[in-house]
Amino acid sequence: MFPERLRALRRGKKLTLSQLADALNDLPDADLTSRQNTPAQIGNWERNLRTPSYLEVRKLAEFFHVTTDYLSGRADQEEYDLGRIFLSGKPLTFNQEQLSSEDRYELFQLMDGYLHGRQQRTTTDPVGQEELDLHFDN
């Protein structure tokens, strides 16, 4: 499971083995491991020829913003509770831009309002298009 998830995460970010090795070496905790990461090393992990140390798995999880349990296959992250993520205090980005605490609060309020406003929506189109009744008088 680990090799497939690592490969999928790397390819999902459109990184080469070299780029991932450089990124791992630039992490703040990179000095926890005695050796620098290399493209060959990561390739061996992806082909299941070698197994990374716990510290290496931690670095990968930090870089890809996933848990070590996810990387190892112990947990699937198929569902996320956005409310918990927004209120967690962890740094969040959108399109590579860091969200401020005010941004997070406003986005949380917008999503919450949207979801609670579902009762006001009616479906009038047989294709399934929704129409929102904003109660404006014409």
Whole-angstrom distance, CA of residue 96 vs CA of residue 17: 21
Q: Is the dihedral of CA 86, 92, 94, 98 positive or negative?
A: positive
Pair 9, 2: CB distance under 8 Å: no
- Given a contact cutoff of 8 angstroms between Cβ atoms, the answer to whether 11 and 81 are in contact is no
DSSP assignments along 39-71, one per residue: HHHHHHHHTTSS---HHHHHHHHHHHT--HHHH
- Among 62, 80, 79, smallest CA distance to 71 is for 62
Q: What is the pLDDT of residue 76?
A: 66
Radius of gyration of the chain (CA): 21
Q: What is the pLDDT of residue 78?
A: 56
What is the assigned CATH class of domain 2-72?
A: mainly alpha
pLDDT at 41: 96
pLDDT (0 to 100) of residue 20: 96
Predicted pLDDT at 50: 95
A 10 A CB-CB count for 71 gives 20
Predicted confidence at residue 88, as pLDDT, reads 72
* pLDDT at residue 19 in the model: 96
The pTM of the full predicted model, rounded to 2 decimals, is 0.54
Give residue limits of the domains in the chain. 2-72, 82-124
Q: 1, 53, 3, 5: which is closest to 29 by C-alpha?
A: 53
pLDDT by residue for the chain (138 residues), tens only, comes to 899 999 999 998 899 999 999 999 988 765 555 688 999 999 999 999 999 999 899 999 989 888 888 888 877 655 667 777 777 777 888 888 898 888 888 888 898 888 888 777 665 556 666 666 666 665
pLDDT for 38:
95
Q: Please, which residues have CB within 8 angstroms of residue 99's CB and are 6 or more apart in sequence?
A: 92, 93, 107
